[in-house]
């Protein structure tokens, strides 16, 4: 939640996190919502978020061209690849990418000129997949 210049609450998008804390969030989700034996986020919500979503809605929507095997659920994108990778994506190139098979979490902060750029999204996905291949 942010506030305007007068201090009034303003609902809008965005998180304000350091890269380290953002990575911790990704790792928590990668671990099914649990840390140190304590369930922080309900496992059912994590499972629904990382595997749910409507394939039909995705393929008939306007995002399918840049992520052909993808799905979307609860502000998270699923790659549809065999690794079960998923990610959160913000405007201007902010990423939280999680690859469970490779035990990998990638945080990428950016300042790309356009808020949305499908070509850059595809390049980033290729980069993350290459890193996962090396790490896994």
- At residue 10, the 3 state secondary structure works out as strand
Q: How far is CA 22 from CA 9, 31, 55, 120, 136, in A?
A: 23, 14, 28, 21, 21
- Write the CB contacts of 109 (distance below 8 Å, at least 6 apart in sequence): 19, 93, 94
Question: What's the pLDDT score for residue 12?
Answer: 66
So what's the pLDDT on residue 6?
Answer: 86
- pLDDT, position 97: 98
> What pLDDT does 15 receive?
74
Which mean pLDDT values do the consecutive 10-residue runs of the chain (136 residues) have? 77 80 96 96 96 90 88 93 93 94 96 90 95 92
Secondary structure of the chain: what % helix, strand, coil (to 5)? 35, 20, 45
Token pair recorded at residue 91: 């405007």
Look at residue 13 in the predicted model and tell me its pLDDT. 67
43-51 and 19-30 helices, crossing angle to 10°? 90
- The Cα–Cα gap between 4 and 119 comes to 34
Alpha-carbon distance of 79 to 68, in angstroms, equals: 8
- Most distant CA pair in the chain: distance in Å? 49
pLDDT of residue 1: 61
Domain 18-135 has CATH 3.40.710.10: yes
pLDDT given at position 16: 78
């Amino acid at each position: 939640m942010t506030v305007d210049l007068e201090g009034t609450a303003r609902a809008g998008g965005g998180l304000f996190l350091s890269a380290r804390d953002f990575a911790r969030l990704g790792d928590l989700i990668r671990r099914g919502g649990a840390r140190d034996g304590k369930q922080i986020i309900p496992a059912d919500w994590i499972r629904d978020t990382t595997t749910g979503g409507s394939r039909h809605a995705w393929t008939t929507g306007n995002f399918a061209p840049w992520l052909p095997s993808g799905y979307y659920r609860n502000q998270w994108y699923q790659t549809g690849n065999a690794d079960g990778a998923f990610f959160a994506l913000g405007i201007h190139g902010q990423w939280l990418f999680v690859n469970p098979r490779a035990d990998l979490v990638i945080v990428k902060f950016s300042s790309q000129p356009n808020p949305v750029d499908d070509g850059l999204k595809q390049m980033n996905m290729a980069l993350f997949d290459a890193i996962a291949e090396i790490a896994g």
